Structure 1
Amino acid sequence: MMLQKVLCSTLAWFVLSQSRVVAQEYSWLLFNNTLLMPASGPKLTASADVPCFPALGFKMPANVPSSLDGWWCDSSTEYAFVGFSYEITQCQSRSQLNSEFADIRQRFRGRYIRLYGACDKANYYNDIIEAAWENGLGVHALIWFGWTDPNIWKIRRDSIFRSLLSNPKAKFITRVLQFGSEPLYDWALDPAQLAEQIKAAKVTLAGLNIPVTISEMAYGFQKHNGAADILAVIDVIDAHILPFFASDASTGDQAWKNVQNDLDWFVRRVGGRKIWFSQNGWPSVTYPGVEPNSPKAVASIAEESKYYALLDSKCSYLKTVPGGGVGWFAHLYSDYQEPGYGILDVNMEPKFDFAPRTSC
């Protein structure tokens, strides 16, 4: 089933408080073909004026809700900048996760993290869930294939399934489960096998209402003649947008034509499903494995900054894309996670001013 766009209906009422009238809006969301209506009373949230997770200003409830009814924000509000890819290969401690997730939420106004890489510490996704809950962040979870052990993805799959099925907070934090990062481009599995794994994951997680997808470039699909069998089974689109590697790339502020080309490729094929730019950026340095395909492509902090400024300038357009608009992640949170792609450098200092819009 697909994560659908909202059925656009808004319920409003007015509450008199200290001689003011406060308008509150609640959206109706079609989630996996189930109409989720606003919950009443304290079951939904401790914040009366921000009624959905993970909207900015939302206050996490003291207790885990009894139902997902009314929990997730309308997908049409989740456009523009939504957060960061966050690499967990270092197996960050709970205290580090808490500190950095708080920074993502409070300083950068992030609503989500998108996991990248893998930590094979037992039950590590529980640490992610707890830190995300503590800081009001949703998560695009990831089953990482990697490039060394051809079977370790199965262990990672089973581990994250255990956390998702046993942790009562998991379904309130996990917005999407990604079955691989560029699994088509990397030939992690034959597309038919990958499609079967996606379908099996959806059955396993059916009681949690967690959409399942892959995180992939348009080119990854194109390598497999469009990978129609994959497009048929994924619930949402987590698209990799990496225009630095285009054959005609030059500077970050000139990247829109390549972004548009890839976005258009998805829009034409996904039937109105929600689109996220999950792995999305422009590097500030090059090194083996991060090398351009165009002699004119410039990697620098200035060009990285220009690229994100370009995306921010397209806020109004991205809001109109079918499926509830495009929500984009910056790739990555810090250069300590992967050189050149961080918004912060290895000393955790901003490489440039970064305050993109979260709405427009």
Structure 2
Amino acid sequence: MTRTLCALGFLLLLSRLNLVFARHTPRSCQPHSSRSGSCAVAVAAVGSAPSAPAPATSTNASSSSCFPSAGFIMPSSVPSSTDGWWCSPNTEYAFLGFSYEVTACQSASKLNSDFADIKNTFGSRYVRLYGACDRNGFYDDIVNAAWDAGLGVHALIWFGFDGTNQWMTRRDSLVSSLTSNPKAKFVTRGVQFGSEPLFDNVLPHAQLASQVTSLKSKLSGVGIPVTVSELAYGYQERGGAQDVLNAIDFINIHMLPFFSALATFGSDAWPLVETDMNWFIQHGNGKKMYFDENGWPSVTSSGVQPNSMLAQSSVANEEGYFSMLDSHCEDLKSLGPQGGIGWFAHIYSDDQEPGYGIYNNAGTKKFPFKPRTSC
């Protein structure tokens, strides 16, 4: 099967009126029984890595490594500068961490527990926030939990699905936290301006590009870059939206081959991954790339339906997909710009988004998951 056929099949798939990635339909705002806290259709802060941070030095911590590498030891006090703090993008390939859904508005203790597990059990370097919590001070709780665990954060400005302007309040709240919390710039690798905003057509792409540029200006004082979290097709259906690709500092990619009309098994999804990856390489002007909303579901629900008769949602296929990515570690490292492509597992637990979690609703791993963090 040629890459061209893969691309055509995927585009035809996504253009079907009955697809619209039903998993993104509005949530009922009823927390799952295993969640604690209130449910909100509020926005979450999401960030990502700077396109060209300074080389790591040992001036800010007692370890010779950089943040958030495995051997990094958090300093006892907040450093005076981020100079030499962040690891180079060239080191950020292979498995990076998890998408983490925050609609439950997790308590500070829950965040601390989950982030410690994400770091210590899986060797993660980052969490990528998904969904939204509008509780006052919630992102400060995220910052504190990330600092304590030694994790970086890809923050998110969530648009939601109701077409309101609530995202503006979320944007302003996040900016306030990022510019006032002294720890925020040391754990926030970047901010994602929406999750599939192009695919959902929440703003014309020219306006989205303008908003990205404006946000970059507001965060320039704390050195936090800005991106958009999006499907390849989200750009393609807007004529490529090259203005958005030009505006963002790095590229966060939704990689969900289960929905392709050409999908078969999770373990065989590399040609579909490669097709979208190559599109971003061709249009991304050498910017750093991450697969952030990235996975294969283990169960089918009303919002998660395949578009291929051969595609099945199962634990075996979910495991097979991540094992496939692991087996292509060298390809992702060599093919992606700036040291290769890093990837997240979407999502941490099934109680956050049913079927996509590494943990099930009972808090047990659905399969052995020890992905490579280097190769």
| TM-score, normalized by the shorter chain, greater than 0.5 | yes
User: Aligned partners of 2:323 and 2:365: how far apart in 1?
Assistant: 15
- Residue 293 (structure 1) shift: 1.2
Shift of 1:32: 6.1
Q: Distance in 2 between matches of 1:269 and 1:189?
A: 21
Matching of residue 328 in structure 1 with residue 343 in structure 2: yes
Distance (Å, rounded) in 2 between the aligned partners of 1:238 and 1:217? 9
Give the structure 2 partner of residue 15 of structure 1: none
Single out whichever of 68-77 and 327-336 deviates more from structure 2: 68-77
Deviation (angstroms), 1:31: 5.8
Q: Secondary structure at the match of 1:232?
A: helix
2-structure distance, mates of 1:142, 1:328: 17
**In 1, are the aligned partners of 2:105 and 2:133 still within 8 Å (CA)?**
yes
Matches within 5 A, 1:1-360: 36-39=54-57, 43-48=59-64, 51-320=65-334, 321-360=336-375
More helix by share: 2
Residue in structure 1 matched with residue 39 of structure 2 by the alignment: none
Distance in 1 between the 2:261 and 2:255 partners?
14
RMSD: 1.4
- In structure 1, stretches of 5+ residues that fail to align are 1-29
Distance in 2 (CA, whole Å) between partners of 1:256 and 1:107 is 27
Aligned equivalents of 2:56, 2:240: Cα separation in 1: 38
The match for 2:44 is: none
Question: How far apart, CA to CA, are the structure 2 residues paired with 1:355 and 1:253?
Answer: 16
User: In structure 2, what is the Cα distance between the partners aligned to 1:244 and 1:189?
Assistant: 27
Provide the secondary structure at the position in 1 that maps to 2:210. helix
Could you tell me which amino acid in structure 2 is paired with residue 317 of structure 1?
Answer: D
TM superposition score normalised by structure 1: 0.88
Identity among equivalent pairs (%): 56
Q: Which structure 2 residue ranges, 5 or more long, are not aligned? A: 1-48
TM-score normalised to structure 2 length: 0.85
Write the distance in 2 (CA, Å) between the matches of 1:157 and 1:32: 21
* Structure 1 residues 108-161: Cα deviation after superposition (integer angstroms, max 9, x where no partner): 110000000000101211110000000000000000000125111111111111
1:36 & 1:314 partners in 2: Cα distance?
28
Distance 1:220 1:88 in 2: 24
CA distance in 2, matches of 1:62, 1:211: 26
* Larger relative strand fraction: 1
State whether residues 145 and 152 of structure 1, in contact with CA within 8 Å, keep that contact through their aligned partners in structure 2.
Answer: yes
Summarize deviations over 1:86-106 as a string: whole Å, max 9, x none.
000000000000000000000
Deviation at 1:288, TM superposition (A): 1.5
Paired residue secondary structure (1:268): helix
Q: Compute the displacement of 1:323 (Å).
A: 2.1
Offset of 1:289 from its aligned partner? 1.8
Q: What is the number of residues matched between the two proteins? A: 326
CA 1:196–1:340: 2 relative to 1, 3 Å: same
Contact 2:56 2:88 in 1 (8 A): no
The SS at the match of 1:82 is strand
Alpha carbons of structure 1 residues 114 and 37: separation in structure 2 relative to 1, 3 Å: closer
Q: 1:27 is matched with which residue? A: none
User: d(CA) in 2 for partners of 1:208 and 1:359?
Assistant: 29
Q: How many Å separate the matches in 2 of 1:63 and 1:154?
A: 33
Q: Equivalent residue for 2:35?
A: none
- 1:77 aligned partner, one-letter code: T
Asked whether the 8 Å contact 1:46–1:62 carries over to 2, the reply is no
- Does the 8 A contact of 2:51 with 2:288 survive in 1? no
Contact 2:51–2:287, Cα closer than 8 Å, also in 1: no
C-alpha separation in 2, matches of 1:235 and 1:186: 21
Runs of 4+ in 1 over 4 A off after TM superposition: 30-33, 37-40
Measure, in 1, the Cα distance between the counterparts of 2:90 and 2:372.
Answer: 15
Counterpart-to-counterpart distance in 2, 1:304 and 1:241: 13
Partner-residue secondary structure (3-state), 1:140: strand
Distance in 1 separating the partners of 2:169 and 2:316: 41
Question: Contact 1:125 / 1:160 at 8 angstroms: preserved in 2?
Answer: yes
Structure 1 residues 250-293: Cα deviation after superposition (integer angstroms, max 9, x where no partner): 11011011000000000001111100001000000111221111
Asked if the contact 2:139–2:174 (Cα under 8 Å) also holds between the matched residues in 1, the reply is yes
Matches of 2:109 and 2:239 in 1, distance apart? 45
